[in-house]
Structure 1
Amino acid sequence: MRGSVLWGWLGPLLVTLFGGVLRFMGLGHPNAVVFDETYYAKDGYSLITWLVERVTIKDADKALIAGNTDIWQKCTEATLDKCASYVVHPPLGKWMIGAGEWLFGMNPYGWRFAAAVIGTLSILVLARVARRMTRSTLLGCFAGLLLALDGLHFVLSRTALLDIFLMFWVLAGFACLVVDRDRARERLVDWYETSPLSPQGPWLGLRPWRIAAGVCLGAAMAVKWSGLFFAVAFAVMSLLWDFGARRAVGLRQPYAGAFAKDVPTGLAAFALVPFVTYMATWFGWFATATGYGRNWDQATSSGPIYFVFDSMRSWVQYQWQVFSFHSGLATSHPYMSDPWQWPLLLRPVAFFYEGKQTSCGAKDCSEAVLGVGTPVIWFGALAALIGLIAWYVATRDWRAGAVLLAYAMGWLPWFYFAITENRTMFLFYAVPMVPFMVLAITLCAGLLIGPSAKTAGGAVPLRRTLGAAAVGAFALLALINFWWLHPVLTAELIPYTEWKARMLFDKRWI
């Protein structure tokens, strides 16, 4: 890694601070239950209070906004089964939401706090991984800045939904694997230079960064099951990197060496570790009698061995019910969209809208939160992804391949559900793709600027000047575009005409 270690951290931290200020400013506004916060804010508080999700009373949203947190059904021993809430997502994301509520109370700021923290941290993670992939602190900061300015990432960082947590754990797992790739190759080179050669090469140890990636990918699945797509793809990607590393160092039997010495520990990191992580997030359900489908009385009737067996049987049955629910989810919704529409931002989600006749400098005023990406970034990413495909076909560059794979795992599986099940889907399902869209733009920006004079042995100054100017202009356009959309991302009170002017695709955005 060339360049200053100090600036390698200070630059990304400054960009993260900028993104954090944007996300935390006015976090408690609107003072309302926004979109699916009606489920996750309550589930988070229920988890930190009773370790499981419980059913709420009628009109619970109104009671919450009025300051009444006593909204859960009163339970007795005879009615415990009626108090258990049937939930269709694993608990980790709701535990994280609940942590914010534990710190700041059951109010909009409290239930959005964790999302803002995680959204801000993801800017730092992306800036650092982009720096590692490009060997450029400037490009790392460029990537972090674009993520900070993306509208969809911004809105989900200020809303108590699960998708921002899914995005974070997927990105963190990817970042850990990029570090693991570097560390594994360093060990191979050190071995090659200091040890007698063998046909298969050495065992590279436990590889803590790969284990950390397994934890992150298990956490992604413990937020939403769609994290499984990334977990499987990243496992294959990492093992392919091992094959390539052993071949690149010149071993006579690189594939046999990888299968014998990398695959066993890789399977542990990508199968056992995620499974243990996933199961650990269900500890509240296993430890209490009030979870949905828990069947506590039967599980405790015949000793500890039967308790474990019957508890697992009940848990598996519950997972199957959840799977059946998702397989048959085809309820119509006014803001649903198909996957092919997501990259084009054809149907964003109105998280919140309230028309008012009050003082905003006009007769009719609006407050709105629109879940939409920053068009300059999303449309720029389309061009960048096409460029990455050409780059990968021509050079087989691992960076282009990794970004394309991650983007595909956030997008292509949803086509199956759209075609076979006509499943209800929304644009914000695409937020795990956003960091990899930004990475695609960043890698193409690096190609446009070209290598430094030191790296290239004297690069043409004009090319670097023009390339840097083009990249800087793109960043400025993204900033202006985000600034223009900002009032309809944060429920700012503005005249209706200004709200209407920001609906770029008119009826599709309304």
Structure 2
Amino acid sequence: MTARSTTSAALRWGVPLTITALAAVLRIAGVGGPSELIFDETYYVKDAWTLGNLGYEGTWGEDPNPAFEAGDTDGFTEEGSFVAHPPLGKWIIALGMALFGPGPTGWRITTAIVGTLLVPLLYIVAKRLTGSAGLAAAGAALLAIDPLAVSMSRIALLDTHLAFLVLLAFWFALLDRPGAVAAIRKGVERDGIAGPVLWRRPWILAAGATLGLATAVKWSGLYAIAVLGIALVVADAIDRRRAGATRWVESAIGYQGPASFVLLVPPALVTYLISWTGWLTTTGGYGRGSSPNPLVALWNYHRAVFGFHQGVTSDHTYASPALEWIPMLNPTLMYRTTDEAGGVGLMAALPNPVVWWGGLLAVAFLAVRLAIAVVRRRRVAGPEAFVVMGILATYAPWLLLPSRTMFTFYAITMLPFVILALLVAVQRIRAPRDPAPLPDPTLEEIRAEQERQAASSEARRAATNVILLGFGAVGLFFLPFGTGWVEPEILYRAHLWLPTWFL
């Protein structure tokens, strides 16, 4: 192995591992503080503890938190508790308490690990999407220090688990693309009318199973299943048209569509049902006795939960409808402390503002590029489609529920796709432009135009590098809002860029 190849291999592995190590330190170190239950930990942690002890969520007496925080974890009863979310995310929290005990470290450690793993996963997806290790490293670094990603990894809520599983499923769908395209081309050569039915798509099976797990964390995983299913049909139609199939629309919808449904949805249903094993195999869970048939009883329970979600419209200081997430008008404050010198520390669901706002502009830019490509029947760009699909799965459905009580920490599922949009937009900006047409150019004019294009490309690369570095600097500046580090009041107030932030 040459010195150059050794250096290349060290960079190829060393950079993402270093970024992952940074993410781990920011998420895991000191995860046991604060020592009290923060924000919605009051629900999920105690539910997780009873899941581990009963197999289902039990009920607690009046004001159980002080005793639980002090280590008295026996204040629950065997009576089943009505809970609004499926059990998988709480089982993940319960695993940490099984390993480290029912203290703050135990109830937060698995979320911190999942939040850490989200960083190298983003690196892998970004590298495949852009083909650039440098852009992938930039995206992973921005996620590693993002205050929303850090805070949501240091508190035992469900949304970080959901974000990881949704991105993982979309990565599996990305891995399916080369094999599917090649198989369609080969099949159209044999059948030029409709093309083949593809059943050997293990990555779609994996995506379906993973989205079943995502739905077992929160029902919003269903949106991702729906978006990915539609995207599979659309992509299949486009691939068949490019391959030369004459009935490409009919074959994509009526021919491959049912097969894709079978590959995607039943695996999701299986993994979702597996997550309910504890409830199904015991008798004390809420609503478990509504029918002798455990699956019918589970269906009855789901009907009750669906009715609950339809009516979640209570007022809350930090309630924030989905439209407000774009400017981040009312980010969720999850923890706040002060010291004797007047310093302020807090943990908040506020992303790095320049990454968030810049990334959303990038989403709009890519959506326009995608729309133009579709209208003009140009080759549809895969990275643009992937990003738009991710945003549709993680954000657009919330716009359909304007009266429901929502919070900005739901946006953690969007954040990886917002960062990916930023990376793809940077790559598009850096891309060489078509040379200006010259009538009967001389050799000198061709060389001058090539030099001009090279200088322009280098300037764009330098400018985008400076922008990415600036985004990273802002991320470091806002990092205390993710970790809860106490800052002098003057520095804390320097972070309040909008008048609605935490005053």
Give the TM-score taking structure 2 as reference length.
0.88
Instruction: Go from structure 1 to structure 2 and tell me whether the alpha carbon gap of 1:196 and 1:368 turns closer, same or farther (over 3 Å shift).
Output: closer
Aligned length: 476
Structure 1 Cα separation of the partners of residues 21 and 313 of structure 2: 41
Name the residue aligned to 1:302: none
Partner of 1:431: 412
Structure 2 residue runs without a partner (length 5+): 375-380, 435-446
* Match in the other structure for 2:423: 442
Partner residue, 1:40: 44
Partner SS, residue 368 of structure 1 = strand
CA contact (8 A) 1:7 1:137 kept: no
| Structure 1 residue 480 corresponds to structure 2 residue 468 | no
For residue 23 of structure 1, report the CA deviation from its aligned partner: 1.4
| 8 Å CA contact 2:107, 2:156 repeated in 1 | yes
Q: Secondary structure at the match of 1:477?
A: helix
State the alpha-carbon separation in 2 of the partners of residues 507 and 245 from structure 1. Answer: 47
Instruction: Decide whether the 8 Å contact of 1:29 with 1:491 is kept in 2.
Output: no
In 2, Cα distance between equivalents of 1:290 and 1:27? 33
Q: Distance in 2 between matches of 1:343 and 1:461?
A: 36
Equivalent in 152, 158, 164 of residue 156 of structure 1: 152
Task: Name 2:29's counterpart in structure 1.
Answer: 25
2:207 match: 213
Report what 1:323 is aligned to: 306
Structure 1 match to 2:442: none
Report % sequence identity: 32
Residue deviations 1:66-106, cap 9 Å, x none? Answer: 22222323x5xxxxxxx211101001111111111111111
Deviates more, 1:201-210 or 1:257-266: 257-266
Q: What residue in structure 1 maps to residue 338 of structure 2? A: 355
Match of 1:342 among 325, 336, 359: 325
| AA at the equivalent of 2:107 | W
Matched AA of 2:401 = F
Following superposition, the deviation at residue 355 of structure 1 comes to 2.8
Letter paired with 1:468: R
Listed one character per residue, the Cα deviations across residues 337-372 of structure 1 (whole Å, up to 9, x for unaligned) are: 121110111111110112332xxxx3x233321221
Give yes or no for contact 2:145–2:479 (8 Å, CA) kept in 1.
no
Asked if 1:236 is matched to 2:230, the reply is yes
Q: Does 1:136 align with 2:139?
A: no
Query: Which piece of structure 1 moves more, 156-165 or 466-475?
Result: 466-475
Alignment of 1:248-397 (within 5 A): 248-259=242-253, 262-295=256-289, 299=292, 310-357=293-340, 362=341, 364-396=342-374, 397=381
Residue 198 (structure 1) shift: 4.7
Q: Deviations over 1:144-179 (max 9, x none)?
A: 222223221221111110111111111111111111
Q: Distance in 1 between matches of 2:405 and 2:398?
A: 10
| Shift, 1:221, TM fit | 1.1
2:478 corresponds to 1:503: no
| Deviation larger for 427-436 or 487-496 | 487-496
Aligned equivalents of 1:5 and 1:204: distance in 2?
A: 36
Q: Distance in 1 between matches of 2:142 and 2:193?
A: 45
Partner of 1:171: 167
| Deviation sequence 1:260-292 (CA, Å, 0-9, x none) | 653232111222111111111111111001101
Give the aligned residue type for 1:410.
T
Q: Is the 8 A contact 1:149 1:482 kept in 2?
A: yes
Structure 1: stretches of 5+ with no match in the other structure: 76-82, 300-309
Instruction: Tell me if 1:12 matches 2:8.
Output: no
Give the deviation of 1:392 after TM superposition.
Answer: 1.2
Query: 258-267 vs 271-280, which deviates more?
Result: 258-267
CA-atom RMSD in angstroms: 2.5
Change (3 A) 1:452 1:92: farther
On the 8 A contact 1:217/1:274 being kept in 2, the answer is yes
The change in CA–CA distance for 1:486 and 1:104 in structure 2 (over 3 A counts) is same
Structure 1 residues 8 and 238, CA, compared in 2 at 3 Å: closer, same or farther? Answer: farther
Question: What secondary structure is seen at the aligned counterpart in 2 of 1:55?
Answer: strand
**Cα drift, residue 448 of structure 1:** 1.5
Rounded Cα–Cα distance in structure 1 between residues aligned with 2:316 and 2:96: 30
1:119 aligned partner, one-letter code: G
What one-letter code is carried by the residue in structure 2 that aligns with 1:333? H
Match of 1:72 in 2: 76
- What CA distance in whole angstroms lies between the structure 2 residues aligned with 1:86 and 1:446? 48
Q: Partners in 1 of 2:494 and 2:105 — Cα distance?
A: 29
> Would you say the 8 A contact 2:288–2:298 is kept in 1?
yes
- Corresponding letter in the other structure for 2:416: P
TM-score (normalised: structure 1)? 0.87
Match of 2:382 among 384, 388, 398: 398
C-alpha contact 2:142 2:475 (8 A) present in aligned 1: no
C-alpha contact (below 8 Å) 2:166/2:221 kept by paired residues = yes
CA distance, structure 2, for counterparts of residue 144 and residue 112 of structure 1: 22
> Compared with structure 1, are the counterparts of its residues 91 and 381 closer, same or farther at alpha carbon in structure 2 (3 Å cutoff)?
same
